[in-house]
Amino acid sequence: MTPALTAVEFFSAKLSFETDPADLAADRAAGASPLVVDVRSAEAWNQGHIPGALHMPNAELSERAAELGSDLDRAVVVYCWGPGCNGSTRAALTLASLGHTAVRELIGGFEYWAREGFLVESATGRHRRSPDPLTAPLHD
């Protein structure tokens, strides 16, 4: 019995549909401008979010997707709370179903963005926490 996909095909495809916090931060620092969409609740958004992200809760995403613009090939990165949440997977499926061809999921979500020490924005301003050594090892 031959598998439908080889391991190389599976993992290549997987990497084309997701990104991680470090890669997203590097893309943004290099001038890449993916649209970043937070699909969590208003309460979670107010607690903190990635600076520059758009807030479109999953329940509103289909109706508000036009706000992302008419370029369906533009890179879009969606995120939810963290690895225990499948909201970003649902959002990526919604956007792909609406014709977006370059949608990716932020693995680790907002939790790992914050844990890796990247800038966070909330009602109290912008801040960053010290990187968690289990997610972003300190370098000598």
> Whole-angstrom Cα distance, residue 8 to residue 129?
36
Going across the sheet that includes 18-19, the strands are 18-19, 103-106, 76-79, 35-38, 54-55
> Would you please indicate which residues are annotated as catalytic (active-site) residues?
80
Q: Which two tokens stand for residue 99?
A: 């014709």
Length, in residues, of the chain: 140
37 three-class SS: strand
Contacts of 77 (CB under 8 A, 6+ apart): 19, 24, 34, 35, 36, 37, 103, 104, 105, 106
